[in-house]
Amino acid sequence: MKCFKLCLSLLCALGVGFGSQAQNKVSAPMKDVNQVIDNTLDSLNIARTARPISGSSRKGENPVLFLVGNSTMRTGTLGNGNNGQWGWGYFAHEYFDEEQITVENHALGGTSSRTFYNRLWPNVLKGIRKGDWVIIELGHNDNGPYDHGRARASIPGIGKETLDVTIQETGVKERVYTFGEYMRRYIADVKAKGAHPILMSLTPRNAWQDADSTIITRVNETFGLWAKQVAKKERIPFIDLNEITAQKFEKFGKEKVKYMFYLDRIHTSAFGARVNAESAAEGIRNYKGLELARYLKPIEKDTLTGATRREGIPMLFTIGDSTVKNRDTEEDGMWGWGSVIHELFDEERITVENHAMAGRSARTFLDEGRWDKVYNALQPGDFVLIQFGHNDAGAINTGKARAELPGSGYESKVFKMEKTGMYQVIYTFGWYLRKFIMDAKEKGAIPIVLSHTPRNMFDNGKIQRNTNSFGKWTREAAEQAGAYYIDLNKLSGDKLEKMGYEEGLRVVGEYFNRDHTHSSLKGAQLNAQSIAEGLQATDCPLKEYLK
């Protein structure tokens, strides 16, 4: 009898209950192999005030799309990117017609299928009505201990096993179910409301099969498989978000995938979150017969970028600021070299399109989606001339807010933008150039990076150079990412300097218009000629298309 009592005390101390004989046959919890600490759930009161009131976004009798998930869907308590990490749920609404359906992101970082169901799901369920939709993507946190610490693990698999535990820190008793059982409970609750559940697999991590592999590690033997099996048996849609995004990551390559994440290899940056949101929309759109797809916005196709392409002939795209593209209309107006450089090429064999934009830095050209249009239009064998630097200094998060961090390194920092109140990760000037280079090479195009055009500014008869700033950083970025580099600042600067400078009179003034930066038509032609000369000094295939 004493022995029995001793054993009973020991088992209670370990937090093991006696719900059924199956208690002793429950599998060990999944190990937390990622070692990423997410303490979001430590402040549920803050989390509840930060998340939406369930159903509060509803417009009239329109349906609501509810998102249920963890930090890959909503990072941090506030989910506002203030730590540089974003969940894809933040961007999901951009893919839906919000006059017909609204999207509510009820996900919370740090939650597992078990902890979300027990602590947050009851409040979400209150707002769900007949005809609504609920996307459930959980599993990243269904690991670790059953009965202490975060105590959030579900039993691996989709069986009916249960485990009664006493949480060591609080003394609270709880029955733990399998991952599959929690999914079945979500599904049953949604169906009971007359709404439509959808299961999704986890977002992929920045994890490759081995050091030399080009294959992203899947979750199709654990949570992805279990979600798929449950969805099939319950006859509801399953969308393999893991597979859709993983295929994209494999096309991107390891270097590009690195910046899809921020601070660790699970939590996505804004770039990665947008990729996952796009993948979710694609999965919905391509799932045969899924009614939710009719609420998606139609895919907008850019009919301008690359519109002059002729079959079998490569294209040259130019991107940059006002020194690359300006008004470019009146002979005595301001011109960019990108609008005259076509004159130096054999246009029977190559087509030239100028997609630069005045006032843009490398960062704002990317932020505004201008680079995405060029990127989407690129085809193997195309070329891209890249020139930034004139607008890349100054304020980062105030005023024009277009500068980057100085240099060409891999540093980054989170800033709160004064105008919008939004948080944004800002990288170095060289980082943005490397992104353009990597993207172009990914599409099979050839990038050529240029230092920015010289300004009409002299010191003691010598034209000012950018040798120790943007010129240096441009060269370093090109070398780091394996792109061709042309020192346009030096080539044109040398020409202007030879023209001479006299006190009170700048002989080179006719090459500029209105100020010391913007080119006249004559100046644009001079810069274009310098680029052609720079090409001739390289082994870049683009030079073969010069007249």
Give me the CATH number covering residue 391.
3.40.50.1110
Mean pLDDT, the chain, integer? 91
User: Is 207 in the same domain as 322?
Assistant: no
Number of H helices, E strands in the chain: 16, 16
Q: Give the DSSP per-residue string, 8-34.
A: HHHHHHTTB--S-GGGGGPPPPBP-TT
- Domain membership flag for residue 536: yes
Helices (H), 360-487: 362-367, 370-377, 429-442, 470-481
User: Is 145 in the same domain as 216?
Assistant: yes
- Look at residue 32 in the predicted model and tell me its pLDDT: 67
Q: Choose one of 221, 255, 289: the last residue of a domain.
A: 289
User: Is 36 in the same domain as 109?
Assistant: yes
Q: For residue 64, how far is the Cα from the chain centroid?
A: 25
User: Is 159 in the same domain as 42?
Assistant: yes
Q: For residue 105, how far is the Cα from the chain centroid?
A: 18
pLDDT digits (tens, 9 = 90+) for 271-287: 999 999 999 999 999 99
- Domain membership flag for residue 4: no
Query: Structural domain tally of the chain?
Result: 2
User: Is 284 in the same domain as 369?
Assistant: no
Indicate the pLDDT class of residue 47, thresholds 50, 70 and 90.
low
Q: Which is more confident, 286 or 4? A: 286
pLDDT digits (tens, 9 = 90+) for 124-139: 999 999 999 999 999 9
Q: Residue 117 belongs to what H/E stretch?
A: helix 113-119
CA separation for the pair 165, 172 (Å, rounded): 8
CA separation for the pair 450, 454 (Å, rounded): 12
User: Is 240 in the same domain as 276?
Assistant: yes
Per DSSP, which regions of 172-305 are E strands?
173-177, 196-200, 238-239
User: Is 272 in the same domain as 321?
Assistant: no
410: tokens are 């891999």
- SS3 at position 525: helix
User: Is 538 in the same domain as 399?
Assistant: yes
pLDDT digits (tens, 9 = 90+) for 388-444: 999 999 999 999 999 999 999 999 999 999 999 999 999 999 999 999 999 999 999
Indicate the pLDDT class of residue 17, thresholds 50, 70 and 90.
very low
Q: For residue 356, how far is the Cα from the chain centroid?
A: 23
User: Is 344 in the same domain as 231?
Assistant: no
92: tokens are 């999901």
CA separation for the pair 122, 127 (Å, rounded): 9
- Domain membership flag for residue 309: no
Q: What amino acid occupies position 335?
A: W
Q: Domain of 146?
A: 30-289
pLDDT digits (tens, 9 = 90+) for 21-43: 345 478 888 876 655 554 444 44
Q: Choose one of 254, 289, 324: the last residue of a domain.
A: 289
Q: Among 45-54, 203-212, 233-242, 519-528, which stretch is predicted with the lowest mean pLDDT?
A: 45-54
- Domain membership flag for residue 23: no
- Domain membership flag for residue 107: yes
Question: Is the pLDDT reported for residue 53 higher than 80?
Answer: yes
pLDDT digits (tens, 9 = 90+) for 75-119: 877 788 999 999 999 999 999 999 999 999 999 988 999 999 999
Q: Choose one of 272, 289, 306: the last residue of a domain.
A: 289
Residue 512 φ then ψ, to 5°: -125, 165
Residue 401 φ then ψ, to 5°: 45, 60
- Domain membership flag for residue 376: yes
- Look at residue 16 in the predicted model and tell me its pLDDT: 39
- Domain membership flag for residue 455: yes
User: Is 321 in the same domain as 424?
Assistant: yes
CA separation for the pair 335, 332 (Å, rounded): 9
Question: Is the pLDDT reported for residue 1 higher than 80?
Answer: no
- Domain membership flag for residue 513: yes
User: Is 280 in the same domain as 328?
Assistant: no
| Residue 81 contacts residue 101 (beta carbons within 8 Å) | no
Instruction: Tell me which DSSP letter residue 52 carries.
Output: P
| Residue 291 contacts residue 323 (beta carbons within 8 Å) | no
User: Is 285 in the same domain as 409?
Assistant: no
Percentage with pLDDT > 70 across the chain: 91
